[in-house]
Structure 1
Amino acid sequence: MSILKYKSLIALLTVCSGIAVAAEPPATEKTKRVQTVADIFEQPGVLTPRGSFVLDTSFSYTQNSSNNVSVVGYTVLPSLIVGLIEASDIDRTTLTFGLTGRYGITNRFEVEARIPWVYRSDSTAKRRINSGSSSEEIFDVDGSGLGDIEAAFKYQFNMTSSPYWVGSLRFKSTTGDSPYDVPVNDVGDFEDLPTGSGFPSIEPGITMIMPIDPAVIYMNLGYIWNIKDDVSVDLDVEDEDGNTENIRVDTIDLGDTISFGAGMGFAVNPKFSFSIGLNHKTILKSKYNGSSQNGKVLQLDSLSFGANYALDRDTTINIGASAGLTADAPDFQLTVRVPYTLKP
């Protein structure tokens, strides 16, 4: 995986440096204002104005938990199970500090780069129900480090009439620790949590923005293509009966993701605005050595709410929260962003 990391970094630098600057008239004073929902009512350009640079500092907190009951054995009757019943409760916490830079090449074309630092912590409590155990077994593991660096391009197709359409193309590298590079114990559990996905991805997307006084309706559609890669996984896992099973994986094709979101933003005044939206993701089956191996399609739905306040002409603060609506979605996510605009 180390060779793939270097290739991803080289591709990232090449993409950022190989941009042709198109000639456009200089930005007016109105287009240099801080980009908020309220700005959409006064100017058709929704991206970073030409020559402006936005430094976006962000912090994200994600909490997720799951309860599982597993049975190692067989069923004699619908109400009689012979074997070992194990109940587990898993709590996952992820903290992400991000530094994002956006630059307006023209009034309708911008480039973006994001560098994340990730801290993850998992706490697992297990109890074997029919083994006579009176206490839970608790396993704690964490991990931190550089996440997967991203680069993106956004282009606004129309400027004079609504609805406004914005296309985007995002590339994610593999600079974070891969799940296949971190050490595991003899039962297949992580000894150190990964900070990246281990696979590069390309994400095209399209966003529609429709101003309807005094609100803004938006919709977006995206597709994440995870590029398959060869990995080296050769692990001997011992089950509860003491039998050893060898697991070997050579090629993994991580399931692609289809995403859709829609919502409404409302500008209370030129300084304050808020938004509410619904987001959906469908994660397709992953394949191991060309086979899905009983994988399932994941459905992630969440309800989001955000508030944006302009501290001054150059600085805003944005707070967003989302709650998971399905079992596979994160239970709760809180994000705080502080974009600061540097004008030419």
Structure 2
Amino acid sequence: MNALQVEQEQSKKRIQTLEARIQALEAQGITSGGPLPDSETAAMRGRGVGQAPPGAEPAVGTEQASVENEEADRKTPAPTEVVEAVTQAEQGHFGEHINIEPGITYSHFSNAALNLSGFLALDAIFLGLISIDEVQADVLTYDLTARMGLTPRIQADVNIPYIFRRSNFRSGGAGGNASGLAERTITEHGLSDVSLGLSYHLFRETASRPDLVINGRVKAPTGESPFGAELVVVPGTQGNLKVPSKLSTGSGVWGASIGASLLKTIDPMVVFGSLTYFRNFKRSFGDLDEAPGDQSGRADLGDAIQYGIGVAYALNDRSSLSMSLTQRFVKHARLLLNPPEGQESAGWQSVVGSQANIGVLNVGATFSLNPKLTLLFNLGAGLTDDASDMVVSVRLPYQF
């Protein structure tokens, strides 16, 4: 009897020793990373250690392993501040919070054209007026974007832009003089087109699939319309140089867009892309053309489709560099002029030269100043004739 009691006491001490060792291993995080050695596992099972009775709650180690298996398909390791900043810049700020993003953008555009007004004699000699026209435009845009997370997957935003425009028109050969030069500068400023947007986080990024966000936007014609601006002849140029009487600050029509954007984190890189379709709606105007007098009718600006691809590379936890390409294809604009009373309409007419191919190469940098404030810098260079020569923008999104 004494021998049996001694053996039971020894077994009890061994069980207590093994339980103490298990607790020590769990404290060091070893059990969560893998199984115990086979000899110790077999010994514990033989003594009933670590086995829960029927109906009991699972052990802590089992519950933790289940959570880990559930999260195994998500991004690992946890994204750094700059990766989060890049993701928010490309996909939006989802979650039930408010984000305010002031920004400033400067763009420069230049174009030169050779104008001939006359005819060829003997298929070799040009008789008439020759002028070289050059246009240089600078646009400074201040805008404020406010975003609100309605749910963890839905975000609404509003963008309010204010534009300052300066256009310089030059003409060589003014007044029939080969060395004659004429110049006129026009400035304009005002509210541009305000837009409202809604984004839905369809799929969250995992190890096997990218982040997917679909978005829609409506644009209101709150800016100054480009239609009805008469062309004014600059004195002393004999008609060689004509400049608009005013500059527009908006499109003049209602518009909408729908698109999708993808993003995949491949540490330390973030790869992203987007595809967007732009729709402009027909609208009536009291004056459409640039000739003196009012010519009423309807305008149908060309729809457009745009794609973008890019990659961002994290330099450290708080800064990254990015490079992207965006290209937009714009269809012809059309005009429907109201005919004089008693005459038939000529129907919709395409505006020559209104189609566009706008390609821009962007180089950017992202700096996470703190968990709530980010600095975004972008430099764009036009790759096609229809694109701006240079675009520089700075944005400061702040999350409340």
TM-score of Structure 1 vs Structure 2, range by shorter chain: 0.7 to 0.9
TM-score, scaled relative to structure 2: 0.70
**1:77 to 1:328, Cα distance in 2 relative to 1, 3 A:** farther
Question: Pick from 131, 148, 152: which aligns with 2:197?
Answer: 152
Cα distance between partner residues in 2 of 1:163 and 1:193 = 43
**1:173 to 1:36, Cα distance in 2 relative to 1, 3 A:** farther
Amino acid at match of 2:151: T
Deviation (angstroms), 1:214: 1.6
Partner of 1:189, secondary structure, is strand
Deviates more, 1:90-99 or 1:178-187: 178-187
Please show how residues 74-89 of structure 1 align to structure 2 within 5 Å: 74-89=119-134
Deviation (angstroms), 1:181: 5.7
Deviations 1:162-214 (A, max 9, x none): 21111110111111111126565368732221111101110101111121222
8 Å CA contact 1:121–1:140 kept in 2: the answer is yes
Instruction: Answer 1 or 2: higher relative contact order, Cα 8 Å, separation at least 6.
Output: 1
Q: Does 1:332 align with 2:390?
A: yes
Identity level (%): 25
Please show how residues 1-344 of structure 1 align to structure 2 within 5 Å: 37-39=82-84, 47-128=92-173, 131-159=176-204, 161=206, 162-180=209-227, 185=232, 189-233=243-287, 237=291, 248=295, 250-289=297-336, 290-295=348-353, 297-342=355-400
Cα distance between partner residues in 2 of 1:42 and 1:294 = 41
Q: Tell me which residue corresponds to 2:27.
A: none
CA RMSD of aligned residues (A): 2.7
Cα distance between partner residues in 1 of 2:108 and 2:311 = 25
Deviation (angstroms), 1:75: 2.5
8 Å CA contact 2:228–2:288 kept in 1: the answer is no
Deviation (angstroms), 1:160: 5.2
Deviations 1:200-254 (A, max 9, x none): 11010111112122211111111110111111227684xxxxxxx9883511100
Partner of 1:273, secondary structure, is strand
Which structure's residues are more often strand, by fraction? 1
Partner of 2:365, secondary structure, is strand
Partner of 2:379, secondary structure, is strand
Cα distance between partner residues in 2 of 1:158 and 1:257 = 26
Cα distance between partner residues in 1 of 2:169 and 2:153 = 48
**1:225 to 1:46, Cα distance in 2 relative to 1, 3 A:** closer
Amino acid at match of 1:74: F
8 Å CA contact 1:34–1:313 kept in 2: the answer is no
**1:321 to 1:106, Cα distance in 2 relative to 1, 3 A:** same
Partner of 2:286, secondary structure, is strand
**1:153 to 1:278, Cα distance in 2 relative to 1, 3 A:** same
**1:265 to 1:191, Cα distance in 2 relative to 1, 3 A:** same
TM-score, scaled relative to structure 1: 0.81
Deviations 1:245-269 (A, max 9, x none): 9883511100111101101011122
Runs of 5+ unmatched residues, structure 2:
1-77, 234-238, 337-347
Which structure's residues are more often helix, by fraction? 2
Amino acid at match of 2:103: S
Cα distance between partner residues in 1 of 2:250 and 2:83 = 36
Q: Which has the larger radius of gyration?
A: 2
Deviation (angstroms), 1:79: 3.1
Cα distance between partner residues in 1 of 2:167 and 2:80 = 37
Amino acid at match of 1:228: K
Query: How many residues get paired?
Result: 302
